[in-house]
Amino acid sequence: MAGAFLRFFTPFVKIMPEIRNPQREVAFKEKFIWTAVVLIIYLIMSNIPLYGVELEDSTDYFYWLRVILASQRGTLTELGIGPIVTAGLIMQLLLGSKIINVDMNDPYDRAMFSGTQKVMAIFLTMFNIIAYIIGGHFGRPTDLGVESIVLIFLQLLFAGIIIILLDELLQKGWGLGSGVSLFIAAGVAGQIFWNSFSFIEAPGQGRIPRGIIIAFFYVLFDDDPTTNLDDIWIRGQLPSLLGIITTIIIFIIVVWFEGTRVEIPLAYRGYRGFKGKYPMKLLYVSNIPVILVNALYANLLFFGQLLAGPRSGLRGQGNDFWLDLLGTFEYQDTGAGTGGYLVPK
C-alpha cells in the first residue's frame, strides 16, 4: 500500500502524460529506430534557440557542466537532464532512507513511485525556470518584460516535458538504454567530433584550424617554417595534441574496465559442497555515480552563484560577509558576444 507521500502526488500522476509499456516484444530493429528518433528530436531541440532570450547580458551558471547535463545554452535544452536526474536522486534517497513507504514488489506502488518521480521532475523544471529568470540567466528581468518571461517559461516547460517523455520512452523498453545516457553520449561525441575535425580557424593561432586532427595535418604539410607541432601541443582552452592523447588513453582505460568481470564465489545452503561463481562487471554502476554527483554539484553551484554571485541582489546590503561564506565568484566574458560565466575563486 502506497504511503502518504505517494498518495499526495496521486492527483498529479493521473493527469500526467505517460508512455505505455509495450504489450509485445519489441524487435531490436524497432528499438534502434525509436532510439534514433529520440536522439534526432533531442538534437533538433538543442539547436532551436529560445525566443525572447538576451544572452549578451546574461550569465551562464552551468558553463562548466554543460556536457554532463546534456544541455545547450540559450536553446530548448537549456535545462538538459538536470531535473530528471535531480528528481531521481531525491526519490532514491527518500526510498533508501525509508522516509517514504514504498513496496517495490507491488505493481501499483512501483507505478506510483515512477509517476511521482516524473511529477517531481516537472516541478523541478518549473522551479529551475523561475530561478533562472529571477537570477538574470536570460537577461535582467526588468529588461525582458512580462511577455518575454512568460514565453521563456512556457518554452522551457514544454521542452522539459518532452525530454522527460523521451527518456521514459526508452526506459520502458521501446528503445535502447536510457535517455539520460543517450543525451550525454551524444553531447560528448558531438564535442569530440567538433574539437577534432573543425576547419574553423582558431583565435590567436593564425590560420591553424580549431580541430586538433585537422590542425595536426595542417602544421605538417603547410610548408610554413614558423609553425610546428609545439604550437598545437598545448593551446590553452583550445583542443591540443596533449588533450586528444589524454582522451584516447582514458577511452582505452574505460573500455578495459567495462570489459573486466569479477567472479564472485557462491555457496548454496541447500546443496552442501556445491559451489558456483557469479560474474559481475567491475564497473557495475557504470557512469551513474558521476551523473548523480555532478547533478548535485550543479544544483549547489547554481544556488551559490544565484545568492552570492557578483550580480546577486543581496550584495551591497550589509550581507557580504555571510555571502562570502557561501562562495565568491569572478565574472569572465566569453569574448563571443554571448554573455559570460562565473569562476569560483
pLDDT, tens only, 50-74:
887 766 655 666 666 777 788 888 8
Residue entry with cell 525509436: 34
For 210-247, how does the pLDDT look when each residue is reduced to its tens digit (9 = 90+)? 888 888 888 888 877 778 888 888 887 788 888 899 99
Mean pLDDT of the chain: 80
Rounded mean pLDDT, 235-263:
86
pLDDT at residue 139 tops 80: no
pLDDT at residue 155 is higher than 90: yes
Spatial contact of 100 and 94, defined as CB atoms under 8 Å apart: yes
**Measured distance CA(104)–CA(95) in Å, rounded:** 10
| 339 pLDDT more than 50 | no
3-state secondary structure 211-277: CHHHHHHHHHHCCCCCCCCHHHHCCCCCCCHHHHHHHHHHHHHHHHHHHCEEEEEEECCCCCCCEEE
Lookup result for grid cell 536570460 = 138
Residue 161's pLDDT is 93
Q: What is the mean pLDDT of residues 92-120?
A: 84
Residues 6 or more apart from 153 whose CB is under 8 A from it?
126, 129, 130, 133
Contact 107, 65 (CB under 8 A): no
The mean per-residue pLDDT over the stretch 277-304 comes to 75
Share above pLDDT 70 across residues of the chain, in percent, rounded to a whole number: 83
pLDDT at 37 over 90: yes
pLDDT at residue number 35: 93
Least confident of 37-51, 208-222, 269-283: 269-283
Q: Which has the closest alpha carbon to 59: 131, 123, 153?
A: 131
Note the pLDDT of residue 17. Answer: 86
Look at 241 and 104; give whichever has higher pLDDT.
241
Q: Output the pLDDT for position 338.
A: 43
